[in-house]
Chains A and B, each alone.
Chain A
Amino acid sequence: MIGLACLVGVPLYYIVVNTVKTQEEMARSPLALPTKLFLDNYQRVFETVPLGRSFLNTLILTVASILAMLFVGSTAAYAMAMRASRFNRFFGALLLLGFIVPGQSTLIPLYRMLVDAELVDTLRGLVVIYTGGSIFVYFLIQGYISRLPFEIIEAARIDGAGPFQIYWRIVLPLIRPILATVGVFQTMWIWNDFITPSVFLSSPEKQTLVMQVYRSVGEFSTDWPGFMTMSVIVLIPMVVFFILTQRHIVNGLLAGSVKS
């Protein structure tokens, strides 16, 4: 078993360990630990590729999109929970469409829409596109809300709290666990997404980290350690994020798979 894990893990080890070796040492003993820490690769990558800029872009994009999605998804789930009228139930069923329809089938009209709105090739435009993910967020939150005790909300209502107060003061704090799970889940999607930025972004200074790696492949076509170093740098934020939120990720993966 551990042998099999090594088979999967060795490529990873190989990549990481060779980023801190000289090209000559790498050729001589590819799997040995480095005799001396060699950081030129890292320095070279940071000099040739604007990774800091891309990191900021990705961060802004992810945070803004997640906030928008959580807002839209939680307000919708709240409204549905407060009032199960026939219209609302019908609308809820209609939203299932957002689950089934793949992003590719709306891609071309959305592209033209952003061109018309002069939002193409902007991070704002990308946030608009990602907000489409709120429908998925809505379904997960709605499932969670329906299992909460309704008495809490009834009590607040009798005490004279209006819908906005109930949403902000009572429901949002109560659904924090699912907000965290969904937020983490969607963060992984946006941070790692390739198709959306590759279609909607073109300016070099607006690229996300993933796109930056993709665009730099040509520059490192003969510089294997350089490319590996760049990949390792780009992977670090996601790995740190994973370690910090492991519990939520596994929950989210399972919730997402069971729900969809």
Chain B
Amino acid sequence: MAPAETSTEVSAGAGRPPRIRWARARETSANQLFLVPVALVFVVLLVVPLTQTFYWSFTDFTGYSAEVKFVGLSNYGKVLTDPSMLAGLGFTLAFTIGSAVLITVVAIPLAVVLNKKFFARNFVRSVFFFPAIPSIAILGLVWGYILSPLGSGVLNSVLESLFHAGPYPWLSDATLARVSVIVVAVWGGAGWHAMLYLAYLQSIPSDYYEVATIDGASARQQFFHITLPLLTPAIVISNFLLMTGGLKVYDLPYTLTKGGPGFATYTITQSIITSGVAQGRYGLASALAVLFTIAVGIVAVAQLWVSRRIERRVL
């Protein structure tokens, strides 16, 4: 719709009778009225709070005292030395990279298989996609019961009755807890991302595979030389979604382990909420939020840049 508009714009002012010009002006301002709601949302829910976060990050604001002192960059210094915040930073990064890599490695072969014809294909697809439907928080709570470190936990009691092994401290040992959170995230996300890959797989012409088969390429060769290169745009999109989603992660670790044991599965978001809303350490929480925004911003801009380049190369 956009191009037609510029032409009326230009012709609106010049060389028309004043009556029409006035009618045009009224129409234009009526049109601009439609931007008022979104401008309100943008200013009230984004610009103002973002500015506040930025401002607080340089102050010692606690939420109660009327007197607010500028403290320069000291909040930023504290963020990078505070053990709980560093723990949150560390696990968030480990979670982001770990889940992104594992989901990609699982989802691509899964999509290739789901793309083949077999008995009850639609049902099987639904089963894999299912974890994307309910709330991640509820899945976290259910998995909390399954992985309960007590002997009565579902997995532990199954292992006990089958192999007389355990009980294993799935969620109470730091390393096991970290691994458990990532594994549950892969369980929950692989099907969703496989659907994304599936959409791209379906657009690959089947001639490519027919020609390759005639030329004597093995299934393995076809996968690495046809499927994988043609999936590059999907891999980029899926991984950027996983990265931004991973950096923002909160629901799953919080409902599964509450960030514990200790700070083993603490996340950036949990840090911001705990120190900002619960403890009133606004300056500190805001400094962390600013750093976090910059990190997410870099990933988002990189995504735009990389996907534009890929589009250009593919077309």
Give the B-binding residues of A (Cβ under 8 A).
1-2, 5, 8-9, 11-12, 14-15, 71-73, 75-76, 78-85, 88, 91, 94-95, 97-113, 128-129, 131-132, 134-135, 138, 145-146, 148, 150, 153-154, 162-164, 167, 188, 191-195, 199, 210, 213-214, 217, 224, 227-228, 231, 234-235, 238-239, 242, 250, 253-254, 257-258, 260
Hey, which chain B residues are within 8 Å of A199, CB to CB? 273, 277
Hey, which chain A residues are within 8 Å of B196, CB to CB? 253-254, 257
Evaluate whether A138 and B38 lie within 8 angstroms (CB atoms) in the complex, with A101-B46, A217-B141, A227-B145 already known: yes
Closest to B124 in A: A5
Give Cα distance in the complex from A88 to B36, angstroms: 12
Looking at the assembled complex, report how far the CB atom of A41 sits from the nearest CB atom of chain B, in whole angstroms. 14
Give the A-binding residues of B (Cβ under 8 A).
1-6, 9, 27-28, 30-35, 37-39, 41-42, 44-46, 48-50, 52-53, 56, 63, 113, 118-120, 124, 127-128, 130-138, 141-142, 144-146, 152, 154, 187, 191-192, 195-196, 199, 237-238, 241, 244, 247-248, 250-251, 254-255, 268-269, 272-273, 276-277, 282, 285-286, 289-290, 292-293, 296-297, 300-301
Looking at the assembled complex, report how far the CB atom of A240 sits from the nearest CB atom of chain B, in whole angstroms. 10
Q: Which of A72, A106, A224 contacts B38, CB < 8 Å?
A: A72
Evaluate whether A105 and B37 lie within 8 angstroms (CB atoms) in the complex, with A85-B9, A195-B250 already known: no
Give Cα distance in the complex from A48 to B242, angstroms: 38
Q: Which of A192, A217, A258 contacts B134, CB < 8 Å?
A: A192
Main SS class of interface, A: helix
Give Cα distance in the complex from A71 to B48, angstroms: 22
From A101, A145, A235, name the one whose CB has the most chain B CB atoms within 10 angstroms: A101
Give Cα distance in the complex from A195 to B9, angstroms: 45
Hey, which chain B residues are within 8 Å of A254, CB to CB? 196, 199
Do B46 and A195 touch (CB < 8 A)? no
Give Cα distance in the complex from A15 to B139, angstroms: 12
Q: Which of A95, A108, A134 contacts B272, CB < 8 Å?
A: A108
